[in-house]
Each structure stands twice: as C-alpha cells, then as structure tokens.
C-alpha cells in the first residue's frame, strides 16, 4: 500500500526502485522474512492440530492450514506497509532512513502482501471442506463461507492492488489523481482487517495483532491530519 507521497521536486527516480541496490536488499529481506514467518505459522498450526508436524504434507487439511497461514502473514505485511507508509508520509523517519530504501521497503511490503493474499485465496480451490470456484474468489459475496466478510476481503484486495499499481502510473495519471487514489489505502486496510477478524478461524489468537495494528494506524492517521493542519496554519498569509 503506497501511502508515501514524496515531493515532486525529488531527484530520485521513484518509478524504478528495482534499479537500486536498496531495492534488491529490501525485496530479499521482505521475501525471506515472509517465507520464514509463513513456515513458522504453518508448522505451529499443524503441531497444535495434529500429533506431529511431519504429517502436515499428507493431511487433508493442508489447504486449510496454508490459507490460514498465508492470510495471517499477508495481514501482517499489509499492516506493516500501512504503518510504514504513514510514518513516511508524516516524515517521522525522513532523517534516518534513506529515501531509496524507504521507498523500496514500502513498495515490496505491499507487493509481498498482495502475493500472499493471492496464495491465501488460491489454495481454497483445493479445500476439501468448502467448495470454492474461481468465480467465488473473484466476485465478492458469492462464496460458501461467510460470504459477507469474505467479500469484504476481496474488495479490500482489489483496493490494495489498485493503489499499488498506481504507484507506477503516477507520471501518466498526475500527482493529484495519484494522491486521491491512495486514500483507497484506508478502505483496503479497514476491509481486510474486518475480513480477518470476522471470517478468520484464528481471530482469537490474532486479536492482539489486530488491536496493535489498528492503534498504530489510528494514531499515525490522527498525527498526520494534525500535522497537516498545523503546517497549513503556519503558512496562512493572514496569520498574526
């Protein structure tokens, strides 16, 4: 989720972060961390549910374990991307994080969350308990399980995808349109949080994560609004 809105006067080519070594380090770090977290989550859940983790690969519930694990890790990355974007937009970390690294981290957090979200949905096609079709995964409110809350997650995914793609289209759609599109980030975050909280079978275990994430996002959003109002007041031409 690309909440970060750098100055148009910057000399940094933000449209091609993959050309920097910082971007390479970022994607390696995010990818490795995500896969390790996914593996840990998967093994922990298989251990709790069965006698031994070694039986996981032969379990009929493998797809269910995998969708739970990928969904949980995707939400963690989405939360991290949203919080990081708010940090950057309020310039809290401007002085101690180089811009290329900050942009690369934000970008790849978003895309890794999107990738795991796609995995989260895709493995449901192989679930032995609920029967999902491709249409159920693409069209909100049509699935067999919690259609309302799962539908909210699908819409949230689309919003997340739109805002991430728009990062690369900024020079064609213009700065104003790009900024307006990125307010969809908040909708994506809220919908995916509701999706996980209400439709997830691990909601009780993830409740502390949801509350921590919501608190950080709310605090940083309020800070961002107050900071913008303060700067607007200080630059007002008729201020006494």
Query: Taking Cα atoms as reference points, which of 14, 19, 73 lies closest to residue 42?
Result: 73
Query: Taking Cα atoms as reference points, which of 59, 22, 56 lies closest to residue 42?
Result: 56
Which tokens sit at 115? 């990738």
Res. 26 pLDDT band, cuts 50 70 90:
low
Which tokens sit at 132? 């999902």
d(CA 51, CA 139): 37
- Report residue 234 CA to chain centroid gap: 34
Which tokens sit at 63? 């797809």
- What are the tens digits of pLDDT across the range 197-206? 999 877 788 8
Q: Residue 131: which residues within 8 A CB-CB, separation 6 or more?
A: 144
pLDDT at 19: 45
**Torsion-angle region of 2 (φ positive above 0: left; ψ -120 to 50: alpha; else: beta):** beta
Residue given tokens 């091609």 in the structure block: 16
Biggest CA–CA distance in the chain, Å, is: 73
Q: DSSP strand E in the chain: where?
A: none
Q: Rounded to 5, what percent of the chain is helix, strand, coil?
A: 75, 0, 25
Residue 13 has pLDDT above 80, yes or no: no
Q: Which of 89-98, 119-128, 157-166, 179-188 has the lowest mean pLDDT?
A: 89-98
Q: Which of 67-71, 92-96, 126-130, 132-136 has the lowest mean pLDDT?
A: 92-96
Residue given tokens 């213009």 in the structure block: 174
pLDDT at 7: 43
For residue 4, the tally of other CB atoms under 10 A from its CB is 23
Q: Mean of the per-residue pLDDT values for the chain?
A: 80
Calculate the alpha carbon distances from 184 to 35, 102, 107, 131, 165 in Å. 27, 21, 16, 31, 12
Calculate the alpha carbon distances from 212 to 193, 208, 219 in Å. 12, 6, 11
Res. 41 pLDDT band, cuts 50 70 90:
low
What's the number of CA atoms in the CB half-sphere (13 Å) around residue 90? 18
- Residue pair 74/117 in contact (Cβ under 8 Å)? The answer is yes
pLDDT at 57: 55
User: Whole-structure pTM over 0.85, yes or no?
Assistant: no
């Amino acid at each position: 989720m690309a909440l970060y809105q750098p100055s148009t006067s910057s000399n940094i080519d933000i449209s091609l972060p993959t050309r920097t070594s910082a971007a390479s380090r970022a994607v390696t770090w995010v990818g490795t961390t995500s896969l390790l977290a996914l593996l840990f989550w998967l093994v922990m859940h298989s251990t709790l549910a069965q006698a031994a983790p070694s039986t996981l690969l032969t379990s009929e519930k493998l797809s269910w374990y995998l969708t739970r694990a990928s969904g949980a890790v995707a939400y963690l990355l989405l939360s991290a991307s949203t919080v990081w974007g708010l940090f950057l937009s309020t310039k809290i970390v401007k002085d101690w994080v180089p811009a290329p690294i900050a942009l690369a981290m934000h970008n790849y957090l978003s895309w890794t969350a999107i990738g795991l979200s796609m995995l989260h949905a895709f493995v449901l096609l192989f679930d032995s308990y609920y029967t999902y079709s491709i249409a159920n995964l693409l069209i909100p409110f049509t699935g067999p399980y919690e259609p309302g809350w799962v539908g909210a997650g699908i819409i949230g995914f689309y919003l997340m995808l739109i805002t991430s793609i728009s990062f690369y289209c900024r020079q064609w759609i213009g700065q104003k349109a790009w900024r307006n599109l990125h307010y969809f980030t908040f909708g994506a975050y809220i919908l995916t949080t509701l999706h996980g909280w209400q439709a997830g079978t691990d909601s009780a275990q993830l409740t502390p994560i949801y509350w921590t994430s919501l608190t950080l996002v709310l605090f940083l959003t309020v800070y961002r609004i107050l900071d913008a109002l303060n700067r607007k007041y200080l630059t007002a031409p008729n201020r006494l």
